[in-house]
Amino acid sequence: MPDVPQVTCEDGECAEVPPPTTSHPVGELETAKSADPESGATVRADQEVTYVLTFSSVGEASVAVDHEDVLSGVLDDATLVDGPTASTPALEVSGPDDTGRIAVSGVLAAGDVETVTYTVRVLPEDERGDNLLANFLVGAGEDAPEECGAEDPRCTVHEVVDPSDDPGAGAGTGSGSGLPRTGLDVVGPAAAAVLLLTAGLLAVTRRRSVG
Protein backbone atom coordinates (compact mmCIF):
# COMPACT_ATOMS: atom_id res chain seq x y z
CA MET A 1 0.00 0.00 0.00
CA PRO A 2 1.42 3.41 -0.93
CA ASP A 3 2.26 5.83 1.83
CA VAL A 4 -0.63 8.02 2.95
CA PRO A 5 0.44 11.70 3.05
CA GLN A 6 0.40 13.29 6.46
CA VAL A 7 -1.91 16.20 7.11
CA THR A 8 -1.81 19.22 9.34
CA CYS A 9 -4.94 21.00 10.47
CA GLU A 10 -5.53 24.48 11.82
CA ASP A 11 -8.85 26.24 12.48
CA GLY A 12 -10.71 23.39 10.87
CA GLU A 13 -8.69 23.47 7.67
CA CYS A 14 -6.31 20.64 6.83
CA ALA A 15 -3.48 20.48 4.33
CA GLU A 16 -1.38 17.57 3.14
CA VAL A 17 2.23 17.39 4.23
CA PRO A 18 4.62 15.73 1.73
CA PRO A 19 6.22 12.55 3.11
CA PRO A 20 9.87 12.79 4.18
CA THR A 21 12.51 11.95 1.57
CA THR A 22 16.09 10.76 1.74
CA SER A 23 19.05 11.39 -0.54
CA HIS A 24 22.01 9.06 -1.12
CA PRO A 25 24.67 10.58 -3.42
CA VAL A 26 26.64 7.92 -5.26
CA GLY A 27 30.31 8.09 -6.18
CA GLU A 28 31.46 6.97 -9.63
CA LEU A 29 34.98 6.57 -10.99
CA GLU A 30 36.17 6.62 -14.59
CA THR A 31 39.69 5.46 -15.46
CA ALA A 32 41.83 5.84 -18.54
CA LYS A 33 45.45 5.82 -19.62
CA SER A 34 47.44 7.49 -22.36
CA ALA A 35 51.00 7.48 -23.64
CA ASP A 36 53.47 9.77 -25.37
CA PRO A 37 54.16 8.67 -28.11
CA GLU A 38 50.50 7.70 -28.46
CA SER A 39 49.40 4.10 -28.33
CA GLY A 40 49.99 2.28 -31.61
CA ALA A 41 53.15 4.17 -32.52
CA THR A 42 56.44 2.37 -33.03
CA VAL A 43 59.42 3.12 -30.78
CA ARG A 44 63.16 2.42 -30.89
CA ALA A 45 66.00 1.58 -28.57
CA ASP A 46 66.82 4.35 -26.06
CA GLN A 47 63.52 6.14 -26.80
CA GLU A 48 61.40 7.21 -23.82
CA VAL A 49 57.68 6.57 -23.42
CA THR A 50 55.65 8.49 -20.82
CA TYR A 51 52.43 6.99 -19.46
CA VAL A 52 49.60 8.90 -17.74
CA LEU A 53 46.92 7.13 -15.69
CA THR A 54 43.81 9.30 -15.23
CA PHE A 55 41.25 8.88 -12.44
CA SER A 56 38.05 10.94 -12.73
CA SER A 57 35.46 11.16 -9.95
CA VAL A 58 32.31 11.76 -12.01
CA GLY A 59 29.63 10.91 -9.43
CA GLU A 60 27.94 13.06 -6.79
CA ALA A 61 29.97 11.73 -3.85
CA SER A 62 33.55 10.85 -3.07
CA VAL A 63 34.85 7.61 -4.54
CA ALA A 64 37.60 5.15 -3.67
CA VAL A 65 40.48 4.38 -6.00
CA ASP A 66 41.99 0.90 -5.80
CA HIS A 67 43.72 0.04 -9.07
CA GLU A 68 46.88 -1.46 -10.52
CA ASP A 69 48.76 -0.68 -13.70
CA VAL A 70 50.16 -3.92 -15.09
CA LEU A 71 53.41 -3.17 -16.92
CA SER A 72 55.07 -6.56 -16.88
CA GLY A 73 54.66 -6.49 -20.67
CA VAL A 74 56.67 -3.27 -20.74
CA LEU A 75 59.50 -4.05 -18.34
CA ASP A 76 60.76 -6.95 -20.47
CA ASP A 77 61.63 -4.39 -23.15
CA ALA A 78 62.17 -1.15 -21.22
CA THR A 79 63.37 0.17 -17.87
CA LEU A 80 61.63 2.63 -15.55
CA VAL A 81 63.46 5.98 -15.51
CA ASP A 82 60.98 8.34 -13.78
CA GLY A 83 58.03 7.97 -11.42
CA PRO A 84 55.45 6.78 -10.78
CA THR A 85 54.29 10.16 -9.45
CA ALA A 86 50.76 11.13 -8.36
CA SER A 87 49.34 14.59 -9.06
CA THR A 88 47.78 14.75 -5.57
CA PRO A 89 48.55 13.49 -2.06
CA ALA A 90 45.05 11.97 -2.12
CA LEU A 91 46.46 9.14 -4.22
CA GLU A 92 49.08 6.77 -2.80
CA VAL A 93 51.32 5.13 -5.39
CA SER A 94 53.75 2.25 -4.98
CA GLY A 95 55.69 -0.13 -7.21
CA PRO A 96 56.30 -1.55 -9.61
CA ASP A 97 56.47 -4.72 -7.51
CA ASP A 98 58.17 -7.97 -8.48
CA THR A 99 55.20 -8.87 -10.70
CA GLY A 100 55.45 -5.59 -12.62
CA ARG A 101 52.44 -3.84 -11.08
CA ILE A 102 52.05 -0.24 -9.92
CA ALA A 103 49.43 0.12 -7.17
CA VAL A 104 47.26 3.26 -6.91
CA SER A 105 44.86 3.82 -4.00
CA GLY A 106 43.07 6.66 -2.25
CA VAL A 107 39.82 8.64 -2.19
CA LEU A 108 38.78 11.38 -4.62
CA ALA A 109 36.12 13.98 -3.93
CA ALA A 110 33.27 14.44 -6.39
CA GLY A 111 34.52 16.26 -9.48
CA ASP A 112 38.21 15.56 -8.89
CA VAL A 113 40.41 14.47 -11.81
CA GLU A 114 43.89 13.27 -10.84
CA THR A 115 46.74 11.47 -12.58
CA VAL A 116 49.71 9.18 -12.04
CA THR A 117 52.67 9.58 -14.41
CA TYR A 118 55.78 7.52 -15.12
CA THR A 119 58.37 7.16 -17.89
CA VAL A 120 60.27 4.18 -19.30
CA ARG A 121 63.22 3.97 -21.70
CA VAL A 122 63.41 1.25 -24.38
CA LEU A 123 66.31 -1.18 -23.91
CA PRO A 124 68.93 -2.13 -26.53
CA GLU A 125 68.02 -4.97 -28.90
CA ASP A 126 70.07 -7.63 -27.11
CA GLU A 127 68.38 -6.83 -23.78
CA ARG A 128 64.74 -6.87 -24.93
CA GLY A 129 62.08 -9.54 -24.74
CA ASP A 130 59.20 -9.66 -27.24
CA ASN A 131 59.66 -6.12 -28.65
CA LEU A 132 56.14 -5.14 -27.58
CA LEU A 133 55.33 -2.59 -24.85
CA ALA A 134 51.82 -3.51 -23.68
CA ASN A 135 50.30 -2.51 -20.35
CA PHE A 136 46.88 -2.41 -18.75
CA LEU A 137 45.10 -0.45 -16.01
CA VAL A 138 42.89 -2.83 -13.99
CA GLY A 139 41.18 -3.09 -10.64
CA ALA A 140 43.39 -4.26 -7.78
CA GLY A 141 44.00 -8.00 -8.07
CA GLU A 142 42.38 -8.32 -11.49
CA ASP A 143 44.08 -10.15 -14.35
CA ALA A 144 45.21 -8.12 -17.33
CA PRO A 145 43.58 -8.88 -20.70
CA GLU A 146 45.59 -10.99 -23.14
CA GLU A 147 45.73 -8.12 -25.63
CA CYS A 148 44.89 -4.42 -25.90
CA GLY A 149 41.59 -3.77 -27.67
CA ALA A 150 41.53 -0.95 -30.20
CA GLU A 151 38.80 0.91 -28.31
CA ASP A 152 39.95 0.11 -24.77
CA PRO A 153 40.87 3.38 -22.99
CA ARG A 154 42.71 1.52 -20.20
CA CYS A 155 45.58 0.04 -22.18
CA THR A 156 48.39 1.10 -24.51
CA VAL A 157 50.69 -0.79 -26.87
CA HIS A 158 53.88 0.10 -28.76
CA GLU A 159 55.93 -2.09 -31.08
CA VAL A 160 59.71 -1.76 -30.81
CA VAL A 161 61.51 -1.60 -34.16
CA ASP A 162 65.14 -1.23 -35.16
CA PRO A 163 66.28 1.14 -37.93
CA SER A 164 66.91 -1.83 -40.23
CA ASP A 165 63.26 -2.91 -39.76
CA ASP A 166 61.83 0.54 -40.48
CA PRO A 167 61.02 1.16 -44.18
CA GLY A 168 61.68 4.86 -43.63
CA ALA A 169 65.11 4.33 -42.13
CA GLY A 170 68.02 5.37 -44.34
CA ALA A 171 65.71 6.93 -46.92
CA GLY A 172 67.66 8.55 -49.72
CA THR A 173 70.80 6.48 -49.26
CA GLY A 174 69.96 3.86 -51.86
CA SER A 175 72.53 1.22 -50.98
CA GLY A 176 71.72 1.43 -47.27
CA SER A 177 75.38 1.98 -46.42
CA GLY A 178 74.58 5.20 -44.62
CA LEU A 179 76.82 7.15 -46.99
CA PRO A 180 75.47 9.98 -49.16
CA ARG A 181 74.93 9.30 -52.82
CA THR A 182 77.41 10.66 -55.35
CA GLY A 183 76.30 12.84 -58.24
CA LEU A 184 76.99 10.04 -60.70
CA ASP A 185 74.87 7.67 -58.66
CA VAL A 186 72.01 10.15 -58.75
CA VAL A 187 71.89 10.60 -62.53
CA GLY A 188 72.40 6.86 -63.20
CA PRO A 189 74.53 5.00 -65.74
CA ALA A 190 72.29 5.76 -68.73
CA ALA A 191 72.24 9.48 -68.08
CA ALA A 192 76.01 9.47 -67.57
CA ALA A 193 76.50 7.81 -70.97
CA VAL A 194 74.38 10.49 -72.64
CA LEU A 195 76.46 13.22 -71.01
CA LEU A 196 79.71 11.61 -72.19
CA LEU A 197 78.39 11.26 -75.75
CA THR A 198 77.29 14.89 -75.80
CA ALA A 199 80.70 16.02 -74.61
CA GLY A 200 82.34 13.99 -77.41
CA LEU A 201 80.17 15.56 -80.09
CA LEU A 202 80.94 19.04 -78.81
CA ALA A 203 84.69 18.30 -78.97
CA VAL A 204 84.43 17.12 -82.62
CA THR A 205 82.41 20.20 -83.56
CA ARG A 206 85.02 22.50 -82.05
CA ARG A 207 87.84 20.77 -83.97
CA ARG A 208 85.96 21.22 -87.26
CA SER A 209 85.36 24.87 -86.47
CA VAL A 210 89.02 25.46 -85.79
CA GLY A 211 90.04 23.68 -89.03
Residue-range definition of the domain harbouring residue 52: 29-160
Contact criterion met (CB below 8 Å) for 129 and 79: no
pLDDT digits (tens, 9 = 90+) for 138-160: 999 999 998 898 889 999 999 99
Taking CA atoms, 91 is separated from 66, 109, 137, 147, in Å, by: 10, 11, 15, 28
Cα–Cα distances in Å, from 172 out to 43, 73, 129, 166, 175? Answer: 21, 35, 31, 14, 9
- For residue 118, the domain's CATH number is 2.60.40.740
Question: Does residue 103 belong to any structural domain of this protein?
Answer: yes
- Tell me which amino acid residue 170 is: G
Q: Do 156 and 187 belong together in one domain?
A: no
pTM: 0.70
Co-location of 101 and 49 in the same domain: yes
Q: Give yes or no: residues 155 and 208 share one domain.
A: no
Contact 33, 52 (CB under 8 A): yes
Instruction: Give the number of residues written for the chain.
Output: 211
Look at residue 207 and tell me if it is in a domain.
yes
Query: pLDDT tens digit string along 60-92?
Result: 999 999 999 999 999 999 999 999 999 999 999
Residue 20, domain member (yes or no): no
Tally of domains within the chain: 2
